[in-house]
């Protein structure tokens, strides 16, 4: 797996928009516990984005520019949305590109890999996997497995936001995919510093967290991670 992010000015603009839309949540007393077991003083709720039409359009436009510049769309046959938060974003991208759209479930609803995919995904179809964000990457690993077992090919994943803090580089290594994101927590920190958008106590805690996310998580009840 490799990570590819957008230009700094675009990332800062996206980060500011996410803050203004209320997608960024801070806790000074009790940390957020992510599904992967890591803990964090901040949480990103990209599900709110569907309520902001202009922001939706701006993020889709920024994502398409990035993906086109990197030639990620040159041979894509269809878009696959990740259950559940990636489905709306995938629909917007598929409409903009006039491409078929499918979605992949977190778990199969029956027997066989095809029961994890909704739509008419064909063997050897080249797809772009779309989700709202990536934290530890474990759900993306499951989605990539399901897509590959259904006979399709995924080389690129697009997310609006990548936590970009936890040591998860090996999680998607088997699938040889590249993750493309518009913003990270470092961009949130940069945007918040330049604008009076966030409480200074929360901002200071985010800064401490970003200096050593693994140590911060362990100190606040997160999983114990050992280098493999």
Residue numbers in the known binding site for 5-phospho-alpha-D-ribose 1-diphosphate are 105-106, 109, 131-139
- Cβ atoms within 10 Å, residue 102: 22
Closest CA to 88 of 117, 67, 114, 57: 57
Tell how far CA 104 is from the center of its chain: 15
Contact 90, 103 (CB under 8 A): yes
Binding residues: 105-106, 109, 131-139
Contact 201, 184 (CB under 8 A): no
Contact 117, 147 (CB under 8 A): yes
């Amino acid at each position: 797996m490799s990570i590819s992010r957008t230009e700094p000015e675009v990332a800062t603009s996206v980060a500011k928009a996410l803050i203004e839309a209320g997608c960024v949540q801070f806790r000074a007393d009790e940390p957020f516990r992510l599904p992967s077991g890591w803990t964090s003083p901040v949480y990103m709720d990209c599900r709110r984005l569907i309520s902001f039409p202009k922001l939706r359009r701006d993020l889709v436009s920024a994502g398409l520019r990035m993906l086109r510049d990197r030639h990620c769309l040159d041979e894509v046959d269809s878009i696959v949305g990740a259950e559940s938060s990636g489905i709306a974003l995938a629909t917007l991208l598929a409409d903009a590109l006039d491409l078929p759209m499918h979605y992949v479930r977190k778990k199969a609803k029956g027997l066989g890999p095809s029961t994890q995919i909704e739509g008419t995904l064909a063997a050897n179809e080249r797809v772009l996997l779309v989700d709202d964000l990536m934290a530890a990457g474990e759900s993306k690993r499951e989605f990539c497995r399901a897509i590959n077992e259904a006979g399709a090919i995924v080389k690129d994943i697009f997310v609006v936001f990548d936590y970009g803090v936890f040591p998860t580089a090996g999680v998607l290594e088997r699938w040889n995919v590249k993750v493309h994101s518009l913003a990270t927590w470092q961009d949130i920190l940069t945007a918040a510093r330049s604008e009076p958008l966030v409480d200074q106590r929360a901002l200071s805690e985010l800064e401490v967290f970003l200096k050593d996310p693994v140590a911060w998580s362990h100190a606040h009840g997160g999983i114990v991670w050992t280098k493999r």
